[in-house]
Amino acid sequence: MYVVTLTSDPAAPALDGAAVSALRNAWGGGDIRWLATGEAAEFPLPAVPDTFRQAWDDFQQMRIDLNLQPAEGRRKKMLLADMDSTMIRQECIDELADEAGVGDRVKEITARAMNGELDFEGALIERVGLLKGLPESVIAKVLAERIELMPGGTALVATMKAQGGYAALVSGGFTAFTAQVAALVGFDENRANTLIVSEGTLTGEVGRPILGRAAKVEALEQITARLGLSEAEVMAVGDGANDLGMLTRAGAGVALHAKPSVAAECELRVNFGDLTALLYLQGYAREDFAA
């Protein structure tokens, strides 16, 4: 048995009951369950329809995300999340680069690295090198003035933890940011790279070993082993090429507002909703949210 989930942007709900009913009828699905009026709905389905991808394309035109997954085991026991452009709206290194006056150059490298066009480690070393000489105090300034949490993140983490789940933040960014974001959102642990500082100034170097794609997979393996969970019990979320390892290994890998090359590798895609879509995918209704 499968479950079809339709979600839209909570800030601009676009889910129409007639459209949901028409899809359910066309596919011979079961009873429709509304998870949030105008925002999220689901229905069971006995098999994967041949027309799924065409329907997905059609609903994308309506700014609605259509996902299909096995019904069994979809409520996960662990969340493994990327940070930049996932749990927060920004890329931290791009914001630091703006303060250093090298924003355009760094943003270009970031975009290419996240789309899988550049080696992540080499791209990170190059970008951090451009930050050499930046006062360490700028990190606090960027956190206070430039960083915005992705909507729905606190509810996602709180709701999964209320059901006994565990939440880990794993980032190719920097511990100076993950520590703050993890504390704000409620993560149980965080892993990231370290910016090297000397006498209150960034040296342009990043600590080794560099946490990239392989390290995110290692986090998945290590944390599940420590908690006695299977990888099938994990929901992972990210947007960049360095997230693909964990996204394809986890029981549910969600490409959130992802680069096209990343989304193409993932079965679960959220292009219009926020992080609450990950709760709807697990069958939580709005009234079930812990925060």
Contacts of 124 (CB under 8 A, 6+ apart): 93, 113, 172, 193, 206, 210, 212
Residues 158 and 276 in one domain: yes
For residue 25, the domain's CATH number is 3.30.70
Assigned domain for 274 exists: yes
Confidence category of residue 245, pLDDT binned at 50, 70, 90? very high
Residues 152 and 285 in one domain: yes
Residues 207 and 85 in one domain: yes
Contacts of 102 (CB under 8 A, 6+ apart): 130, 131
Residues 153 and 287 in one domain: yes
CB 101 within 8 A of CB 178: no
Assigned domain for 14 exists: yes
Assigned domain for 237 exists: yes
Assigned domain for 282 exists: yes
Q: φ and ψ at 134, to 5 degrees?
A: -75, 130
Range of the domain at 166: 76-90+148-291
Out of 149-153, 206-210, 240-244, 287-291, give the one with best mean pLDDT: 149-153
Q: Judge whether residue 291 has pLDDT over 80.
A: no
What is the tens place of the pLDDT at every residue in 162-200? 999 999 999 999 999 999 999 999 999 999 999 999 999
Residues 68 and 154 in one domain: no
For residue 221, the domain's CATH number is 3.40.50.1000
Residues 178 and 256 in one domain: yes
The DSSP 8-state label assigned to residue 155 in this structure reads: H
Looking at 46, 72, 98, the residue that finishes a domain is 72
Sign of torsion over alpha carbons 39, 271, 246, 253: positive
Q: Taking residues 5-17, report their average pLDDT.
A: 96
Residues 27 and 80 in one domain: no
Assigned domain for 111 exists: no
Residue of 85, 134, 78 lying closest to 107 (CA atoms): 85
Q: Judge whether residue 20 has pLDDT over 90.
A: yes
Looking at 22, 39, 72, the residue that finishes a domain is 72
Confidence category of residue 119, pLDDT binned at 50, 70, 90? confident
Total domains in the fold of the chain: 2
Residues 83 and 39 in one domain: no
User: Can you say how many angstroms the Cα of residue 146 is from the centroid of all Cα atoms in its chain?
Assistant: 19
Active site residues: 82, 84
Residues 166 and 280 in one domain: yes
Q: Judge whether residue 135 has pLDDT over 90.
A: yes
Residues 43 and 168 in one domain: no
Summary mean pLDDT of the chain: 96
Assigned domain for 120 exists: no
Q: What's the confidence (pLDDT) of residue 116?
A: 85
Assigned domain for 125 exists: no
Assigned domain for 143 exists: no
The DSSP 8-state label assigned to residue 73 in this structure reads: T
Q: What is the pTM of this model?
A: 0.95
Confidence category of residue 131, pLDDT binned at 50, 70, 90? very high
Looking at 72, 107, 128, the residue that finishes a domain is 72
Residues 240 and 284 in one domain: yes
Residues 163 and 288 in one domain: yes
What is the tens place of the pLDDT at every residue in 21-74? 999 999 999 999 999 999 999 999 999 999 999 999 999 999 999 999 999 999
Tell me the Cα Rg of the chain: 20
